[in-house]
Amino acid sequence: MDVQQLLTSFKETFGSEANRVFFAPGRINLIGEHTDYNGGHVFPCAITFGTYGVARKREDSLVRLYSLNFKETGIIEFDVDDLEYDTHHEWANYPKGMIRYLKEADHAIDTGMDVLFYGNIPNGAGLSSSASIELATGVLLEGLFGLDVERIELVKTGQRVENEFIGVNSGIMDQFAIGMGKKGAGILLDTHTLQYQYAPIDLEHHNIIIMNSNKRRELAGSKYNERRTECESALQSLQSVTDIDSLGELTEEEFELHKHVIRSETEQKRARHAVYENRRTLKALQCLQDGKLQEFGELMNESHLSLRDDYEVTGKELDALAQAAWDQPGVVGARMTGAGFGGCAIAIVEKDFVERFINGVGKQYKEAIGYEATFYVASIGDGATELDKEVII
């Protein structure tokens, strides 16, 4: 599909011509999982799959939203001054929340708008389709209404929508990667301070393969919030003997020295993952800077095992994908990506082995799980932006 087709769909849906096109990518996290809300480091990158928003301002106060991905819900309408969460509005609560919080921050969104959304991120796959639509809406509002808004403000607004409007207690990684992404680079982000640096990812002879388990992942209904609560409890226990604000401040040695104060074995496992995963992420950056891709892959493998054994968020589907990937030739490393409980895994694979990899993992996964996985060859792209109308998507 190209932008012209989206413009045609807009006219068919709303009866008028759209004049602006915006895009926000999805993201994968190469390493550093469930560390973002624990004050640790993450290492995500934006991908070239994402969410498109085709838009036109209206002269009245009516907001009309339509998604080509959820045609069954039809056009969802509300007033630009009536921005309460509404369960009947389903997916449209994400853009509605962005409008609400930017208005509350005194940005002048003073008329309604017609917006057609289209996403080519598999829904529920764990590639952050929700943060993608949040940031697509953010840059759309910025462009349509000429808002003077810093990119980091859009990033934080997206997280606030997720936390307060939708009710998922997630960290800032997804919105940050999508808002700040850079072609050909990962972002090492300190989620505690929001300091970040870009790290070029040289994959001249390798591809990143996204493996969708095709088990849908619904964060709000998962054990995500439970994991966060367990980590907060472990942190409180550690604060009785250490002067820290987050688990991300601890080294492995410091954790091992003080872990006995965490009485719950489960909470101790959760904290161990947060501490060790944070350190793995810092080591991973160094590996890339030193050109040691194989060592980076080994850290990816260790990350999955920790998520499986200590954090317990993988599940049989993601474990089957990881194991099948490890069994293939030409694989540098593989791990689940995202929150877990279904969704996707990723692998770095030598280009000469990609076709064999997809066939091998696909066969092994179907034998183990009973249904098929889906595979995507990912490219690392730029963050949320306005598009030229001639862009092919």
Which are the catalytic amino acids? Answer: 174
In 1-112 the beta strands, taken as DSSP E runs, fall at 20-31, 41-57, 62-67, 76-79
Left if phi > 0, otherwise alpha if psi is -120 to 50, otherwise beta: which for 218? beta
> Which SS3 state, helix, strand or coil, does residue 160 take?
helix
Q: What is the rounded CA–CA span in Å between residue 315 and residue 359? A: 22
The β-bridge partners of 55 are 20, 115
Q: Letter for the amino acid at 24?
A: A
Which residues sit opposite 79 in a β-bridge?
62
From 375, 371, 380, 374, select the one nearest 354 (Cα to Cα): 375
Taking the CA atoms of 295, 300, 304 and 307 in sequence, report the sign of the dihedral they define: positive
Place of tokens 């089957």: 320
Determine the straight-line distance between the first and last CA of the chain, rounded to whole angstroms: 6
Torsion 257-263-265-266 (CA) sign: negative
Output the six-digit token pair for 329: 């030739």
**Alpha-carbon gap, residue 350 to 347, rounded angstroms:** 10
Q: Residue 337 forms beta bridges with which residues?
A: 344
Phi, psi of 189 (to 5 degrees): -115, 125
Sign of the C-alpha dihedral, residues 50, 313, 36, 348? negative
171 Rama class: left (phi>0) / alpha (psi -120 to 50) / beta = beta
Alpha helices in 186-292 (DSSP H): 224-238, 252-258, 265-289
Tokens 């694989």 appear where? 331
